[in-house]
Amino acid sequence: MIAEIGHYALVLALGLAVIQAVVPVIGARLNDPTLMAVAEPVAIAQFGFVALSFAALTASYVSSDFSVANVVINSHSTMPLIYKFTSVWGNHEGSMLLWVLILTLFGALVALFSANLPAMLRADALGIQALIALAFHLFILVTSNPFARLQEPPFEGRDLNPVLQDFGLAVHPPFLYLGYVGFSVTFSFAVAALIEGRIDAAWARWVRPWALAAWMALTLGIAMGSYWAYYELGWGGWWFWDPVENASLMPWLAGTALLHSAVVMEKRNALKVWTILLAILAFSLSLIGTFLVRSGVLTSVHAFATDPTRGVFILGILVFFIGGALSLYAWRAPALKQGGLFAPISREGALVFNNLFLTTVCATIFVGTLYPLALEAITAEKISVGAPFFNATVGVLAIPLLFAVPFGPLLAWKRGDLLGAAQRLIAAFGISLVVIVAAFAFFGAKGVLAPAAIGLAVFIMIGALTDIAERTQVINQPSNAFRRAAGLPRGAWGTAVAHLGVGIALLGIVCESNFGSEHIASVKPSQTVALAGYDLTFEGAVPRQGPNYRELVAKFTIRRDGQIVGVMEPTKRSFAARAASTTEAALMARGVSQLYLSLGEPGTDGSIVVRAYYKPLVLLIWLGAIVMFAGGALSLSDRRLRVGAPKPSRSSILQSAK
């Protein structure tokens, strides 16, 4: 009964999506406030029904209802409760349901927080949002119904893919989807603005918080996916330039560009046509990402055999929305008025530079990801484009972009002074030069590239702090610095913190990939492996019983200079239900560096193959992402970006009066 309620709720949500996609848009054309006002309650109700549907699927999973086919294929009665929850989206059907849940959540949020927007823009945007939801409701109901029942329910489920039985599944997909789908809001508003043929700085002020929220979620989602791959796959890598990873990186790059260009539009009323295009592209790339992952067209560590009708259906959705939006853009964009002149050297110029490089990097990744597909379709030749391609292209294009990061915030609007900005960055230059020389002296054998990259990371970090130090005058007048710091707009803090995060992540990436060490050995009990100044002694391996698996636990004692610093226990798990095994790496943090152990096959004589890594500063990669997220959060809390800005709305006055 519960599954049928879920199915029926989804059908009702589809009906509501039809109403929301048609009635408010007609209302906007007729300028009828009653018809336009239909959007708000319907958007909220639509979310309510999808949430009910999602809850029904969750209930089927938690109660291990093996009459539902989806539960049989992806669950097992002995699985720990958290995985019974997370396996709801650990499969195609359920994860698409999570997609529409988040899509309709954003629709409802837009409806709730847009009361003081122009009625027409609001009605059109909510209509477009519902049109997207409509397409995906149909997709689920027609090709991927998660509520299908079985005639004869089996006694036991087939278990979730062991690789997915991890806490990572609880956080990575929801955040990634919040990011992907969050860009649907900017897309809907871009299309609505094109329909109206009118766009101004207020539009940017209104859309930027949504873009920022989506970007923050996507940043965390990508970082979590990367950390998950790092510890779960046992290969010690954190980024593989896998098509599915690229699929998430492309909207992130477009979204980052959008955040920056929207600033120009908000402050200077310039780059309007470009910002609209980026808003369309960010969501288009999210849709392409969904297509790549869900259709299984690409060879990838994520890709699995799949039903071709689904691929064709998503391709249809893709062509309709991307093609439709871009045609509308080509038709209406020339009519949008351009404004705000600026010199090439200025804050606007720096942000154009940022956008130029971000979109070029994005396009390069797009080519590298889709070229194998295109080639196979045309010549039937199968190729793989891997890390060497992306390192040789993206690596080079990223250098000027990263080098320019500290300059942007120091340039004035309209007409900037590059020499002046360089002078203000003299301390940052000096410190990074010292760091380069020190790094070269220390690791000279590795060449100059790695020390130079470390210097670049330090330059970005110190540069980000320079802006804050100058604006608070912490060096000239330290007594008043605290008051000034408190008075700085949160947006300025957000910029500095996010840029600091970029530098931190870069430092981690450079150190991990250049100065890490790796050792593979076959060890017998009481044998010792030496790695990067640590001694790893294998104490022996013992079997252990888990809730739905058996595992072989290898115990290693870690010593440094004869002193025990800890014990590491990498394991190998076998899951009976799927006759599959996984490797659980053991990690030990030493500051922000890590020791990493993963197991291979055990031998017949008590020996075991072990792969040991020392990863210097590796945690900075993900810490940097968290700092970027924090920067986004600071910026989001800026008063200017709140609903009703620039004038504080009545509700916020009431709130502050409490």
Partner 1 sequence: MTRKQRRLILIGSCLAVLGVAVALILGALKDSIVFFNSPTDVVEKHIKPGTRIRLGGLVQTGSFARQDLDARFDVTDGKTSIKVSYRGILPDLFREGQGVVTEGALDANGSFVADTVLAKHDETYMPKEVADALKKQGHWKDDYGKTPGSEGRKP
Q: Which of these ranges, 324-332, 354-362, 447-455, 494-502, lies near partner 1 under the rule CB under 8 A?
A: 354-362
- Give 324-332 contacts, CB < 8 A, sequence gap 24+: 325/187, 325/190, 325/191, 325/194, 325/280, 325/284, 326/280, 326/284, 328/191, 328/194, 328/195, 329/194, 329/276, 329/277, 329/280, 332/194, 332/195, 332/197
By CB under 8 A, name the one of 20, 46, 129, 598 that touches partner 1. Answer: 598
Strands 586-590 and 593-602: antiparallel
With binding defined as CB under 8 A, does residue 293 bind partner 1? yes
Residues 127-186 that bind partner 1 (CB under 8 A): 158, 160-161, 163-164, 173, 176
Give the C-alpha separation, 148 to 136, whole Å: 18
With binding defined as CB under 8 A, does residue 579 bind partner 1? yes
Residue 66 CB, shortest distance to partner 1, in Å, is 13
Residue 458 CB, shortest distance to partner 1, in Å, is 26
**Strand runs labelled E in 409-481:** none
- How many binding residues for partner 1 (CB under 8 A)? 71
Residues 231-260 that bind partner 1 (CB under 8 A): 233-234, 244
With binding defined as CB under 8 A, does residue 587 bind partner 1? no
With binding defined as CB under 8 A, does residue 377 bind partner 1? no
Residues 6 or more apart in contact with residue 101 via CB below 8 angstroms:
47, 50, 51, 54
Q: Which of these ranges, 89-97, 129-137, 468-476, 480-488, lies near partner 1 under the rule CB under 8 A?
A: 89-97
Q: Decide whether 364 or 637 has the Cβ nearer to partner 1.
A: 364
Residue 419, number of CB atoms within 10 A of its CB? 9
Q: Decide whether 466 or 582 has the Cβ nearer to partner 1.
A: 582
Cβ atoms of 272 and 263 within 8 Å: the answer is no
Q: Decide whether 184 or 583 has the Cβ nearer to partner 1.
A: 583
End-to-end CA distance of the chain: 47
Q: Decide whether 334 or 388 has the Cβ nearer to partner 1.
A: 388
By CB under 8 A, name the one of 581, 637, 649, 652 that touches partner 1. Answer: 581
Binding mask of the shown chain, residues 303 to 322, with x at each position contacting partner 1 by CB under 8 A: xxxx----------------
Residues 458-517 that bind partner 1 (CB under 8 A): none
DSSP states along 297-316: -S--SS-----HHHHHHHHH
Residue type, 625: A
Nearest to 92 by CA among 294, 297, 300: 294
By CB under 8 A, name the one of 55, 59, 73, 171 that touches partner 1. Answer: 73
Residues 333-352 that bind partner 1 (CB under 8 A): 341-344, 352
Q: Which residues of 118-138 are buried (b: 16+ CB within 10 A; e: fewer)?
A: bbbbbbbbbbbbbbbbbbbbb
Residue 520 CB, shortest distance to partner 1, in Å, is 6
Q: Decide whether 163 or 474 has the Cβ nearer to partner 1.
A: 163
Residues 6 or more apart in contact with residue 568 via CB below 8 angstroms:
536, 555, 556, 558, 586, 587, 588, 595, 597
Q: Which two structure tokens, joined as six digits, stand for 6?
A: 């879920």
Residue 524 CB, shortest distance to partner 1, in Å, is 11
With binding defined as CB under 8 A, does residue 219 bind partner 1? no
- CB-side neighbour CA atoms (13 Å) of 153: 13
User: What DSSP designation does 68 have?
Assistant: B
By CB under 8 A, name the one of 302, 484, 555, 640 that touches partner 1. Answer: 302
With binding defined as CB under 8 A, does residue 552 bind partner 1? no
With binding defined as CB under 8 A, does residue 357 bind partner 1? yes
Give the C-alpha separation, 104 to 110, whole Å: 10
Residue 234 CB, shortest distance to partner 1, in Å, is 7
Q: Which of these ranges, 184-192, 206-214, 376-384, 481-489, lies near partner 1 under the rule CB under 8 A?
A: 376-384
Strands 534-545 and 528-531: antiparallel
